[in-house]
Every structure is written in C-alpha cells, then in structure tokens.
Structure 1
C-alpha cells in the first residue's frame, strides 16, 4: 500500500512506494546536489577562490585543535584519509599549514596553522558567514537551528 507523508503546502513531500519512480526534484539527493551548487556559487562570490570550503574546514579545525594529528583533523573536517593527505600536502606547499613528525610516534604528522594560514582563515571568515547567512536566508530565523540540526543528522555528524 502506498504511504505518503503530507507536509504543509509548499513543503517538499516525502513519497515512499507511491509510484514506481521518484520525483527527482523532490528526492533528497537531488536537493542536496542543488544546495551544493548554490553553496559553491555563493562561496566563489563571497569567499573567493583562494580557499575552498574543505580547506577552510581544515584550517578552522587546526585553529580549534592546534598541533592535532592529521587523522584527527581529517575527522574534524569530515574528510577521508586520502583526501586529507593530499589536501595537507597542498596546504603545506602553500605555506598555510606547518607539518612535523610526532616525536612520540614517527608515523604520525602533527599539524598547526602557519601565521599565513591563520591570517587567511581570519580574512575568509566574514565571507564564510555571509555564505551561511545567504543559504539560510529563505528560512524563517526560528528555522535556522532546526535546519542545521536536521542536516547534521542526515549527514550523520
């Protein structure tokens, strides 16, 4: 039997088993992809091209946890091991991140922000806030926390 969850008019309805195919424009994957496209456009306009969103997440994690090992920073930034390794190499080459071997475990890299990395992080933060505000602008102010909570839950964060 078909089950249809009805939401307020204008809201995206969740449809399960109601028809043989999904309405692509109401599928969560489609909506996430479109939201990502909007985010990318806003990021380019408000933050620029000097720092990507994942790179910002790494620099922000390093400001929060200076001297953390590479694995921990990757977890904080929600990046997989391979992506993190390549990104750290690029950030080190650009002089934004300092990398040193852990004296107690030579297999681990300990990371910290360079002064240049810290300056770029702080300079980018206003633009990042503008991106956040623009993404949430269509929502009522009281919906912001709820939307962020639901997205974090869907992302399993």
Structure 2
C-alpha cells in the first residue's frame, strides 16, 4: 500500500509537472501567436505604408510635368506683370518710349497715306490723259473713215 501510495504520489507529481509543462507550452504558444499577430500587423502596416509611398511617388512623377509647366507659367506671369508695370510707367511719362513709338508709327502711317494719295492723284491724271488720247484717237479714226471714199470703205472693212 505504501508502495502504491508512493507510486501514486510520483505519478501525481509527474502529472502536475506535465500539466505545468503543458501550461508553460500553451503560454509560449500564445506568446508566439501574439508575436506572429504583431509581426503580421507590422508587416501589413509596412505594406500599406509602401503602397502609399509607391502611390505618392507615381503621383509625384505625374505631377513633375505639371509642376514644371506651373513654374513656367508663374515665371511668364511675373514677366508680364513687370512688363505691364513698365508700360504703365511709360504711358504716364510724356516722353516715354511707348508714346514715342506710337508717335513714330502714327507719323509713318500718315506719310504712307499721303504717299498713296499722291500716287492715286498721279494715276488719275494718267488715266485722264489716256482717256483724252483715246478720245482723240477715236475722233481721228472717225474723221479718217469719213474721208475714205465709199468704194474703198467696203474693201477695207471686208
């Protein structure tokens, strides 16, 4: 009986040590599962972060062209504003470049108009002279026709 009691205690001790081991192993399994879950979460976060980064890079690449165009347009606007200011100052100045250029252009146009008017007048004179010459020639032809005897007239016309 003592022997069975000792064996029973030993088996009991072994059973409790096996239970302890099982509990420890289950705790280790739970810790590993938790670590795996955390690692998967970190991996998912990293993957999402990289996906966002990849999208941001692709977006930046697509925006580079538009950004360059935007900068060019900004520079153009800046230049045009400066030019506008210069023109405004120039127009307020009575001896400004733009005013002088406008006067020169106006004078050139006036000269061109007067030159064309004189050319037109000359051509009218020329036409008038040609018309007078034409009228004289017509009269001469009529006079010549009247002076030709009737018999010769029919021969010359045929």
TM-score grouping bracket, smaller chain normalisation: under 0.3
Structure index of larger Rg: 2
Answer 1 or 2: higher relative contact order, Cα 8 Å, separation at least 6: 1
Q: TM-score, normalised by structure 2?
A: 0.23
Structure with more of its chain in strand, by fraction: 1
TM-score, normalised by the number of residues in structure 1 = 0.23
**Structure number having the greater helix percentage:** 2
